[in-house]
Every structure is written in C-alpha cells, then in structure tokens.
Chains A and B, each alone.
Chain A
C-alpha cells in the first residue's frame, strides 16, 4: 500500500471497520447497519452474522451426492458459510449414515480449483470468456431455429425435475435425448425385464444366505454400493452368509469373497449352467420352474465340459452348487464383467436362470420400489446411447448438440472416431463444471454450479427402501457468481424458447417450490406447503413410493454360443471399474487420486494386472512397463502382479488417462477405454466392453510402481487373523456383536 492511493473504504477496512465502528456507533443507539454518507454506502458490522451463521458452530444441510448415479443422501457441514465436509444422511433410504470415498471427496468437486467460472464461446478456435447475455444471444441465433430432429441432448443419468424439463425441451425442439453411462447395468436390466418383467427389481442381500455374484461388484460399483455395503454387513452377521464371486479380475467385492473364482472371460453363462446341472443332478433340485428344453440345455453341461470351457475346476463348481443348495435362500447377481461380452445377454440370462431355479424370485429378489411419478424416474444410461449417438453424428444428423453430465470424447473408444465426427456438428453446447475432453471441443461452454450450490431433485435409479425423491439444496453460497444451476439453465432455455407454462417461474427454485406444492396431499402428511417444504429440505428427500407389480419368472433362451478367441490377440482386456475414478469423472479429485486403489493399492496412476503365470511367461515383474495392444489402440502401462486375475486376462482400470480435466487428472495414467474393440453385445446393442482381445509385450522399461505398502503378506504376524465361518457362527451366530 503506497502513499496516497488509499481510499476511504480501504482505510476503514484496515481499521477493522466492523468491530470499531459498530462498537462506537452502538453507543449512540444506532442500528448496526448505518448509512455513513447518505445514499452512498452501507456499512454492515462484521459482528452481525448472517442467518444461521453462528461462528464456531457447524450447521448441517441435507443434499444429494452426485459423484455417481446412486444418488446417496448426504448432510453437508457448513461453518461460517463454508461447506467443510459431507456425511451420509442417517435418514436417507439409500445409504443411511454411510458414505463411500467418492461421496466423501465430493467437496473437492465443489471446491475444485479447475472449475469453469465463466461462460465461454469459441472464437477463432479458442474458447473465450463472455457474458451470459452474449451466450443467450448466441444460443438464440444458432440454436433456436433448428429444425425438428436436428438437435440432440447427450447426458449422463438424469432424473427428477431436470428430467422433466429436459423432456419438455426435447418436445419443444423435437430433438433426441441420449443418456449415456460408460458404467451401466443395461444388459442386466434388459434380462431382468424379460425374465422378471421389471428392469430394476430389489435385491435383498441381507436376506440371502449365499450370494453368488458373477462380476457384480456390489460393494464397490454396482447399482448402489453404499446401500449394498449396509446389506452386506447384515448378511455377514449372525448366521453368516457365504459370498462367492466369479470374475476375471478381483474387484473389491471379490476381495471380500469366501470363494473367489476366475472363469475364462465370456464363459460366465456356461459356468452358471454347469452349476445348474450340478444342482439338478447331484442335489436333486426341483427343476419345474424351467422348461424341458431348458433343462436339456443344462444337462449338456457336464462337469468336464464346464471345466474345459470355463477353466473352473469341477470341484469348485460342486462347491458353489453345494453352498447354493445348503445355504438357502441365495441370490445370484450379474455385473459388468459378465455382461460386457458379445454373448453378455446369454450370460446374464443363464445367471438369472439360477435365481429362478433356486427359487430366489420373491425371496431375495423382489418387486422394485420406484417413485410414483413416472416422469421423475431416473433415465439410466447405457453405452448403446453412445453408439447410436456417434452414428447419428457421423451421418450429420444434428445441427446442435447439448452435452451434460457425460464426457463421451474421453470415454468413446477410438474406433468410433467420435472427435472427428463431432466436428460435423456445427454447434456444440456443453454444460460443465470442468474443462474436460468434451468441453474442450465445445462451441459454447455453460459453467454449471456444483451440486452443493444448486437446487435440484434427483431420483436414484436403484431405490432400495421405497421410492424417494432426493433433494439438493444450495448448502453454501455460489463460489463463482457466473456459474448456473443446470435446472436454472434448462428453465432459461424453456423460457427463451417460449414454451408455455414456465414464464412465471423466476428461477428453478421457484419452479421446484411450485411443483412441490402440487404434490398430492397424501405425500405431505397434512402439512402446509411451507412446512412441507421446510421439512423436505431438512430431511433431504420426499417419500413417494410406488411398489412395482409382482415379478414374473420366465427364463428366456439360455443356449450358450461359444466364442472363438482371436489368435493374434490372445489375451482378454478387462477395463475394470473401480470405486474411485469411476468412469473417469472423479479423476480430478486429489483425495481419490491419492487414495490407493482398494485391491492393488496403486495411487495416482494406471496399472495393468497380470497373473504371476502370465507375468512369468512374459518375463516381467512388478513395475515393468508392458505394451497392451488391441486392434484399435495400444497403451504402455506398469504391471502389478497378483493372483486375483485370470491368467488369460490383463486388467487395466478405467478412469485415468485424461488429456484435459484439470491439473489433477491431466496426464495421469492411461485411458483404457480408447482401445476397446468394436464388439457389441448382440442382443442389447451395448458396447461389449470386456470383449476386447489384446496382446501384451515387454517394453524393457521399468519404474517403481506407485503402490502403497511394502510387503503384501503378513509375514507370520497376526495382523489380520482369519477364523473359519463355522467358528464364527458358533460363537456369534444370531447375535451381532459389532
């Protein structure tokens, strides 16, 4: 501060205006807000706190976590106007008090230093910051008179009233809407639909005594992991249930399994049939729920044949069958590693058949819970959306595309050539918080508020305990004045478009309040609108459950068609899903980058998992770089060797290898999704993400693998001792000590 350029305002500030003047003035019976020079400035005491701000005391606000589509309920702790931490909302019907590490790290999404703070427009090849007025003008110019069918929305999972507004926009514009999730359960949903008549039934792991999971990482990434973790805890107490996990690469769930089985990738269905065969023959299970033709198919899969195809030893198959028989009821789940093949649907069908055969339908798999309002339900994403979208874009079908909540330029495989095709779209509008790969190619970038700054309603795709609408409210003031809530922007677009019925709402908040007023009185417990509103905000969700119709149990075609492995590319690539980077959206959170992966304990990097046998054959040791090459691309990545991966498999986690997306994500690791093959799941049209064949070679380069932990063995110390389940049931059966 030099010489004379100090102005009065600064002076007062430096003098500690708040305290001094307020104290002085209060002596003259002046209010704490005084006008010094009339009409010029308002002096507000620092001592007068804003509403709810009690210095030193944290206040908790309910909101909804947006780090993955599970939509867990959270409480955000706010102190002195800052969001400090989030915890699970104990009343939440989804997660209760628990929260996963992605949820914990959601504050870093909110406070991320790489957030976009201003709207931007592409001018002369570069994105330059502009004002909102200019953006709206440009949108008006370029996007308002698009012919019907010439525009599209490309989003992640959407739900709640955002979904409603999107549908309105779609109608108004006559465009398409693609909901894309690289990590999805679309094949499973299709099979559920066919067999059970319900795409998303309720799974009751806690009620089961045996869980047989074919690649469903329900503790880490499947449907609603925190909820299933809660159920898992119950499942493991008392008369402890048995968990069997079949997958090509050990997931977090696999790490906790009593029996971990590595079947040859793509043969999960055969294994399921083999198990069914043992159940029917050896255990004399009543097969009446299956047709004769189906039983004939099953009968073909003798122990020897199953072992030959799947590589799983006959005794293991028997052991699984014995567990299923003895420890009933059971539940059989299927996940990404079973679905992601050309025959994924067959696999899932054979796996679902086990549920029908074992009589689990109605016991551990029950009718779905959902929100009573169809239009609010989550539009769950699929990877087929990406294929369809790419094709349409390649055909030059769209003049305008709006992106939100999805980063297809990052996650689209090379063979789709999405980036090149996107250049055919003249006007790309990206709603985004970060400069990710998709945002980089945008023509207009609309900066979004974080989920802790905006009003929103969300509906979780998987509703474990009755349907509920989750509320998001701004738990703190916007960090950047120029960012906008997605809901506000949708409303704005509707208003600009002149869609009827929205002109009266000043903002999305007003819209939501208005909409909630119109909810049926039965949901409001007889409360007045204002009380109901306050109550909803406090609780974080509205119970609005509709129970689905009873499940059917009609097993479809379970014939298995065997796959011929490509000889040039002998290995299977597993783009594994991890509960940290997810599909790459969490790669910009330093806490998650620094948190070692649950299984391999690698941090801040990508790695390739190899079985010791494979590694020996190749002559590599931990930390060596190998080249993993598919017909569509190649990556060089360091090796982690352990016995939790099938010898024919090389597993590389997805989510890293960003070319943009801020300082924490950019340049970390490799993007395995780029090298996926064009294989498609035949029945559902989903990307067969686990069907890529690769070859691996040694590069001769070596570096220390970024892995936490010295020894991977306990070296005889009793750090974690293991007791047999029988002992556990004897000492603690029926009582939950912890």
Chain B
C-alpha cells in the first residue's frame, strides 16, 4: 500500500517529461470530450438565443418565482471556485506541501468556474444588453448603481475574485511556463515566450516570485471568504423566510469549499487516469483531500443543523412553516436527497478502504457535488414557492430552457478545462520538484547535497533552477 505522498526518488527530468507529455497532441478521447462539451455548450447557446429573443417567459420564471436554476447554478459555480483558493492559498500558507501536485488544476478550476458562474447573472437578466449598468462607471448624468444592493456587491466581488484568481493562477505558472518555453516549438514557443515574461530562474526572480505569490495568497484568502459571503448576502440581506438567515455567510463558504473539494477529487481522478499522473497524484494525496472534504462536510452539516435549530427555536412562524414544508412538501425528495448526499454520503470518505478505491471516490465526488447543487436549488426554490403571501404560493418547475443552459454551463466549464490541460501544465512542475526535494532532504540530507551537486547549482541550498534540466 502506497503511503508516501510522492516518490522521493523521482527524477526531475522525469517530472518535466511526464507533465510536458500531458500537453502533447491530444488523442481521440480528448477530441471526443471536446465534441461532447461543445455539444453541451451549443444546447445552452441555442436556449439562450431563444430566451434572449422571447424574454424570460420560456424559462418558466414567474411573478411568484422570479429566480430559478440560473441563480442556484450561479451560486454553485461560485462555490466550486473556492477550492482552488483553499488548496493554493490556505494550504500554501500553512505549509501543507501535499497540495503541490494538485493545486494547479484546482486553481484553474477556480478561474473557470468563476468564468462560468459570471455568465449566469447575465443570462438571468431581463435586459442583458444593459448589464453594464451595474458597474459604477462615471457618467455625466450622475447615475450610479445602487451600492446598497447585494447584486452590485456581487458584481464587484466576482470581477475582483475572477481577476485575482486568474492572476494567481498565471503567476504561479510562470516558472512552469518557462520550462514549457524551453521545450516547445512553433506557436507554443511563441506563446510561452510571451507568457513566461522572460523568466530565467535567477535569484532575484525567485525572490520576487515568492514574495508576490505569498502576497497574492494572503490577499485571496479573505477575498474568497468575502466573495461567498457576499453571494450569500443576495439571500441573507433579503426579507424572505429561509433566506433571511444570519448563518448564511459561513454556511455558504463551507458549502463552497465542500463542493470545490469534491470537484477536486473528481478532476484528480480524471487527470490521474487519462494523463497517467499516478506518480504525482498519488493515493495518499487523494486520501488527504478526502479527509479534508470530510471535515468540511461535517462543518457544513453542522451549519445546516444550526440553521434548522435556529429556525425551530425562533419565533418566525413563516420561516418555521417553510422549513417544515421543505421536509414534507413537493421539494421534499430533493431536500432529503440533498441532506443524504451532503451529510451521509461523505461518510464514505471516512472509510479508508473506500477512500483508496478510485472508481468509488469518483462516483462519490460526483454525488457530493450533485448534493451541493441541490443545496443551492433548495435555497432558491422553496423560499420563492412558499413565503409570506399564501395567495402567491406556487410550484413551477424549471423549463427545458433553464435546464439546457445549466447543462451547457457544465460543457462550457469542461471545454475551458480541456483547453487548459493541453495548453498549460496541469501539474506544477517546479513545485513537485520542490516537494520531492524537501521530502528527500527531510529523510536524507546527504542526498540533498548530492542532488544539488548533480544539478550543478551554483548556489547550493537554494531552490534549484530549471535551467539545463
């Protein structure tokens, strides 16, 4: 049984070769995946064109249920984006080095899920063509957006988070891009030359790089927490039962990390399998991710219970009624499914045997995310179906247009990810090397010295350069 996070004896050249190999010309399977994703996206595009032309009516949105899957899925994707930050920033700061082989794709996932999430508020607008009005551009007419509205906070939060996480992803990739540059030809070489920003791996660059990376990490952590808190404010700032909940910000953040971690497990297994990354994305690392997910799942469950209890003991009759209705009404199957998937299913992660079994984990991780998606729907849907005004109660299930766009968003995310893994290294080469190096030096300091010598590093003891590898 594999117990080590990574093989300490792995050669650096092999690391480079393995990762660069994953970026080589794609095989048939890749193209099939691309076509599938494109088909999904085109479903959404067709639906969106139809919706754009006719209005939001075909989406089955109604005067009693003005929001639907669009907002639920928006929250879902925003949530998923939190894992990248968790892995790269938080674990970076606390020096959990097992994150190193897997943080790159997690960060990419952050950026892409934000790019997906950002589409939803736009798709859901009645007058899409005026969406820029939520931005505080300076106008002579003196018209500003409403800074009191959580939706305009959303606009700031998401754009800030998207910019920051994209920068964080890019900065963290610079040393790797230099490796790519040195190993590529043709258009790739040109691309990487531009993108690697003249990285030579010298001491000054490394020092600046470390500094900016740490700085970005520190910046991103509060940002990530605030982004999902702000998204939760869309609901928590309202007056509606089931939304007007004080615990929503931590609840949303926990849910976000939860779904993000689950998505990492999914992508971990996919990448490991298709790109033969068994030596980097090892079972012990998966196990650690699983344990982390389990911990977050329990936090999420706890926050759920708090919400129920607070409602139960509270004096808000309408909220109580809604909670009861969630358990028993037409949404009950979905609500129970969410609770099962979100709170019971993660116990599989606690079982070592299951945790190490990749197919099981693959399925479980998908279910966890389904649970988290349901959670978002169970926040948006029931409150709008049943609230203060009994005459307005209604249950309207989403139409094909909504489903198509939601479905397509997964294709869109997949497409971005597929492009990413072929253009950029999905495993951080330099950080894996670091990890290998650190592990090795931890056990056998003598080996470290010899390693340095072999690499002919002019300054023994410092981080190895990529040059000449």
Binding site for B on A (CB under 8 A): 708-711, 713-717, 719
- B172-211 interface code vs A (CB 8 A; 1 in, 0 out): 0000000000000000000000000000000000000000
- Per the 8 Å Cβ criterion, residues 250-275 of B in contact with A are none
- 22 residue pairs of the A-B complex, CB under 8 angstroms, read A708-B391, A709-B391, A710-B64, A710-B386, A710-B390, A710-B391, A710-B392, A710-B393, A710-B394, A711-B390, A711-B391, A711-B393, A713-B390, A714-B390, A715-B321, A715-B390, A716-B317, A717-B318, A717-B388, A717-B390, A719-B389, A719-B390
Nearest CB of A to B237, in Å: 23
Chain B minimum-CB-distance residue to A713: B390
CA distance A92 to B334 in the complex (A): 60
Q: Which residues of B contact A714 (CB under 8 A)?
A: 390
- B376-409 interface code vs A (CB 8 A; 1 in, 0 out): 0000000000101111111000000000000000
Chain B minimum-CB-distance residue to A714: B390
Nearest CB of B to A601, in Å: 9
CA distance A709 to B63 in the complex (A): 12
Q: Which residues of B contact A716 (CB under 8 A)?
A: 317
CA distance A708 to B391 in the complex (A): 8
- B351-394 interface code vs A (CB 8 A; 1 in, 0 out): 00000000000000000000000000000000000101111111
Chain B minimum-CB-distance residue to A712: B390
Nearest CB of B to A92, in Å: 34
CA distance A710 to B64 in the complex (A): 10
- Per the 8 Å Cβ criterion, residues 308-337 of B in contact with A are 317-318, 321
Q: Which residues of A contact B393 (CB under 8 A)?
A: 710-711
- B64-84 interface code vs A (CB 8 A; 1 in, 0 out): 100000000000000000000
Residue of A709, A710, A711 contacting most chain B CB atoms (<10 Å): A710
Nearest CB of A to B66, in Å: 15
Chain B minimum-CB-distance residue to A715: B390
CA distance A349 to B236 in the complex (A): 65
CA distance A710 to B389 in the complex (A): 9
A-B contacts at CB below 8 angstroms, number: 22
Question: Knowing that A710-B386, A711-B393 are A-B contacts, what are 15 other residue pairs whose CB atoms are under 8 Å apart, sorted by A's residue number?
Answer: A708-B391, A710-B390, A710-B391, A710-B392, A710-B393, A711-B390, A711-B391, A713-B390, A714-B390, A715-B321, A716-B317, A717-B318, A717-B388, A719-B389, A719-B390
Chain A minimum-CB-distance residue to B386: A710
CA distance A714 to B394 in the complex (A): 14
Nearest CB of B to A197, in Å: 49
CA distance A713 to B390 in the complex (A): 7
Closest 4 CB pairs of A and B: A710-B393, A711-B390, A709-B391, A715-B390
Chain B minimum-CB-distance residue to A709: B391
Chain A minimum-CB-distance residue to B64: A710
Nearest CB of B to A513, in Å: 52
Chain B minimum-CB-distance residue to A710: B393
CA distance A711 to B329 in the complex (A): 13
CA distance A709 to B394 in the complex (A): 8
Nearest CB of B to A51, in Å: 42
Nearest CB of B to A40, in Å: 48
Nearest CB of A to B101, in Å: 53
CA distance A708 to B390 in the complex (A): 11
CA distance A715 to B392 in the complex (A): 12
Nearest CB of B to A713, in Å: 7
CA distance A714 to B317 in the complex (A): 13
Q: Which residues of B contact A713 (CB under 8 A)?
A: 390
CA distance A716 to B324 in the complex (A): 15
CA distance A719 to B387 in the complex (A): 13
Chain B minimum-CB-distance residue to A711: B390
CA distance A714 to B318 in the complex (A): 12
CA distance A711 to B325 in the complex (A): 13
CA distance A717 to B321 in the complex (A): 11
Chain A minimum-CB-distance residue to B390: A711
Chain A minimum-CB-distance residue to B394: A710
Q: Which residues of A contact B389 (CB under 8 A)?
A: 719
Chain B minimum-CB-distance residue to A716: B317
Nearest CB of B to A714, in Å: 6
Q: Which residues of B contact A719 (CB under 8 A)?
A: 389-390
Q: Which residues of A contact B386 (CB under 8 A)?
A: 710
CA distance A709 to B393 in the complex (A): 7
Chain A minimum-CB-distance residue to B317: A716
CA distance A578 to B393 in the complex (A): 26
CA distance A717 to B387 in the complex (A): 11
Nearest CB of A to B47, in Å: 24
Nearest CB of A to B388, in Å: 7
Q: Which residues of B contact A717 (CB under 8 A)?
A: 318, 388, 390
Q: Which residues of A contact B392 (CB under 8 A)?
A: 710
CA distance A711 to B385 in the complex (A): 11
CA distance A715 to B389 in the complex (A): 9
Nearest CB of B to A118, in Å: 36
CA distance A279 to B87 in the complex (A): 88
- Per the 8 Å Cβ criterion, residues 294-320 of B in contact with A are 317-318
CA distance A717 to B317 in the complex (A): 9
Nearest CB of A to B383, in Å: 14
Nearest CB of B to A26, in Å: 38
CA distance A709 to B64 in the complex (A): 10
Q: Which residues of A contact B64 (CB under 8 A)?
A: 710
CA distance A714 to B393 in the complex (A): 11
CA distance A529 to B234 in the complex (A): 71
Q: Which residues of B contact A710 (CB under 8 A)?
A: 64, 386, 390-394
Nearest CB of B to A97, in Å: 28
Nearest CB of B to A602, in Å: 14
CA distance A736 to B7 in the complex (A): 91
Nearest CB of A to B315, in Å: 13
Nearest CB of A to B384, in Å: 11
Residue of B64, B391, B393 contacting most chain A CB atoms (<10 Å): B391
Q: Which residues of B contact A709 (CB under 8 A)?
A: 391
CA distance A715 to B324 in the complex (A): 13
CA distance A713 to B393 in the complex (A): 11
Residue of B389, B390, B394 contacting most chain A CB atoms (<10 Å): B390
Nearest CB of B to A621, in Å: 15
Q: Which residues of A contact B391 (CB under 8 A)?
A: 708-711
CA distance A717 to B394 in the complex (A): 17
Q: Which residues of A contact B394 (CB under 8 A)?
A: 710
- Per the 8 Å Cβ criterion, residues 407-428 of B in contact with A are none
Q: Which residues of A contact B318 (CB under 8 A)?
A: 717
Chain A minimum-CB-distance residue to B395: A710
Nearest CB of B to A620, in Å: 20
Nearest CB of B to A303, in Å: 40
Chain B minimum-CB-distance residue to A708: B391
CA distance A715 to B64 in the complex (A): 17
- B207-230 interface code vs A (CB 8 A; 1 in, 0 out): 000000000000000000000000
Q: Which residues of A contact B321 (CB under 8 A)?
A: 715
Nearest CB of B to A514, in Å: 55
Residue of B317, B318, B386, B389 contacting most chain A CB atoms (<10 Å): B389
Chain A minimum-CB-distance residue to B393: A710
CA distance A710 to B321 in the complex (A): 15
Q: Which residues of B contact A715 (CB under 8 A)?
A: 321, 390
Q: Which residues of B contact A708 (CB under 8 A)?
A: 391
Nearest CB of A to B28, in Å: 48
CA distance A717 to B322 in the complex (A): 13
Chain A minimum-CB-distance residue to B318: A717
CA distance A470 to B64 in the complex (A): 45
CA distance A710 to B395 in the complex (A): 9
CA distance A710 to B392 in the complex (A): 5
Nearest CB of B to A640, in Å: 16
Nearest CB of B to A720, in Å: 11
Q: Which residues of A contact B317 (CB under 8 A)?
A: 716
Nearest CB of B to A206, in Å: 32
- Per the 8 Å Cβ criterion, residues 98-114 of B in contact with A are none
Nearest CB of B to A598, in Å: 14
CA distance A709 to B391 in the complex (A): 5
Nearest CB of A to B73, in Å: 25
CA distance A710 to B317 in the complex (A): 18
CA distance A708 to B321 in the complex (A): 22
CA distance A709 to B389 in the complex (A): 10
